[in-house]
Amino acid sequence: MLRQVGLNVSNQAEIAARAKEDLGFTVEQVAVDIPVILSRGLARPKSLDILDADYFMLPALWPTENFQAIDSRRIHRWDDVIGIYKTGKLLRDSVRGAGHNPILSQYVKGPDSRSLDSADEPTRWLTALPYLQSIESLGVRSDLAEPLLGRRVRHWSALVHPAFSGRAALQDFPAVGYLDSALAFRSAGEANYDDIGFPTKAEIDRTLKLLTELKRAGHWRALWGPFTESVNLMASGEVVIQSMWSQAVAAIKDLGIPAQAAELDEGYRSWGLGLMIMSHVGGLKLEAAYDYLNWHYSGWPGAFFSRMGYYSALPLAARAFLEQHEWDYWYDGKAAPAEIKDPFGNVHDKPGARRDGGSFRNRLGNVTAYNTVFHPNAEHLASKWREFRRA
């Protein structure tokens, strides 16, 4: 048995059941939130075998001796993994997103290296096996937001537009809430950033000052925490625009409520998940761990996550397990000739609909910034965010 800990979006009962069916051994998946993932990986490493971590966590996780490097020569289809994990860009002409681009923590020089100083230089040794990539923008109640704004939402600046005063919300996780706000203020011409993903103290102070002014003016209806809270706020109509997970937008659409993940001219925010092997794993269990990692590149798991609205790090494998109309919708951005269903059998979109933002190349190739948690001024941001909450 392998013991895995990770986010609820990726640790699904269906994934564990299919892994057992295909591999012949049990993968026990425990779904927790981000702070627990970090604490388990840092303080209780022997309580698990595989950590399902976001790439922005690796600067805190990897320098410990709790993880072992993954030998890419033992990953059967590593050469087919998308370019983000090879060069930091999807394609040669794509945008290389700011902030904690996964390439910044993908590689190490050797199996015993604890340093990420040269992580963006491809080597044989991987810190994590990438398998799921998400694209985020602004969640919008299109039936309510467009009449207020007078046009379709196409810019990050809409998040702070006066038209949405009292009906906008932010994610109450400093790194993400801050980044969405910074993207909005930059789009509105109210703030500039040298590197929007790695802010200076002065940039943080300026951004939080603007956020606080808006809060005192009644602009923010809520700072949401749990995933379900963001769904309830928008489903009820209390909020018409907010920083939002793509999965939450899908949940609202599944209720028959018109919502969309806005197609933003300035690009998208992104994050990705990777599977890390704990350092204590050895012998037959290590062989099982590599079998499990390779299973994630077999196609079925990638297709499952694609139907949730995420992207596989190995689209070519996932394609073999997607119907043509599913591939056209999820990856090519084409109109769906038939109903589009999620992996649980629920209708996600109707015939004729197109995916918000269009194709894989347009969305994942146009990431303006990646979630960034651990940076030199992270504690300063956390302190200022607490002040913002109390304002």
Q: Using one digit for the tens of pLDDT, what is the confidence trace for 109-118?
A: 999 999 987 7
Q: Using one digit for the tens of pLDDT, what is the confidence trace for 84-107?
A: 999 999 998 888 999 999 999 999
268-278 vs 67-68, strand pairing mode:
antiparallel
Q: Is residue 232, in this structure, part of any structural domain at all? A: yes
The domain total for the chain is 2
Residue 43 has pLDDT above 80, yes or no: yes
Residue 389 has pLDDT above 80, yes or no: yes
Beta bridge partners of 132: 273, 312
Is residue 251 domain-shared with residue 372, that is, in the same domain? yes
Is residue 245 domain-shared with residue 260, that is, in the same domain? yes
| CA 276 from centroid of its chain's CA atoms | 17
Q: Is residue 111, in this structure, part of any structural domain at all? A: yes
pLDDT for 147 equals 95
Residue 33 has pLDDT above 90, yes or no: no
Q: Are 385 and 208 in contact (CB under 8 A)?
A: yes
Q: Is residue 44, in this structure, part of any structural domain at all? A: yes
pLDDT for 256 equals 86
Which CATH number covers residue 151?
Answer: 3.40.190.10
Domain interval for residue 141 = 136-267+366-390
How many residues belong to the chain?
391
Is residue 250 domain-shared with residue 154, that is, in the same domain? yes
Is residue 238 domain-shared with residue 283, that is, in the same domain? no
Query: What mean pLDDT do residues 113-129 have?
Result: 89
Is residue 243 domain-shared with residue 293, that is, in the same domain? no
Q: Using one digit for the tens of pLDDT, what is the confidence trace for 272-331?
A: 999 999 999 999 999 999 999 999 999 999 999 999 999 999 999 999 999 999 999 999
The least confident of 71-80, 231-240, 260-269, 340-349 is 340-349
Is residue 150 domain-shared with residue 260, that is, in the same domain? yes
pLDDT for 346 equals 86
Is residue 226 domain-shared with residue 261, that is, in the same domain? yes
Is residue 244 domain-shared with residue 288, that is, in the same domain? no
70-71 vs 125-126, strand pairing mode:
antiparallel
Q: Are 11 and 132 in contact (CB under 8 A)?
A: no
Q: Using one digit for the tens of pLDDT, what is the confidence trace for 329-372?
A: 999 999 999 999 999 998 888 899 999 888 999 999 999 999 99
Q: Is residue 329, in this structure, part of any structural domain at all? A: no
Residue type, 373: V
Encoded tokens for 189: 């011409």
Which residues touch 139 (CB under 8 Å, ≥6 apart)? 230, 234, 241, 242, 243, 244, 245, 248, 249, 252, 259, 260, 261, 262
| Cα angle, residue 107 at apex, residues 106 and 111 outer, rounded to 5° | 135
Q: Is residue 235, in this structure, part of any structural domain at all? A: yes
Q: Is residue 341, in this structure, part of any structural domain at all? A: no
How large a percentage of the chain has pLDDT more than 70? 100
Residue 133: closest CA among 228, 290, 37, 9: 9
Is residue 26 domain-shared with residue 84, that is, in the same domain? yes
Is residue 151 domain-shared with residue 111, that is, in the same domain? no
Q: Is residue 292, in this structure, part of any structural domain at all? A: yes
Give the domain-ending residue among 257, 277, 297: 297
Phi, psi of 302 (to 5 degrees): -60, -40
Is residue 251 domain-shared with residue 376, that is, in the same domain? yes
Q: pLDDT confidence of 251, banded at 50, 70, 90?
A: confident
Which residues touch 211 (CB under 8 Å, ≥6 apart)? 170, 181, 388
Residue 70 has pLDDT above 90, yes or no: yes
Residue 228 has pLDDT above 80, yes or no: yes
- How many CA atoms does the CB half-sphere of 223 hold within 13 Å? 19
98-99 vs 367-370, strand pairing mode:
parallel
pLDDT for 171 equals 93
Is residue 375 domain-shared with residue 244, that is, in the same domain? yes
Q: Is residue 327, in this structure, part of any structural domain at all? A: no
Q: What is the pTM of this model?
A: 0.92
Query: What mean pLDDT do residues 143-168 have?
Result: 96
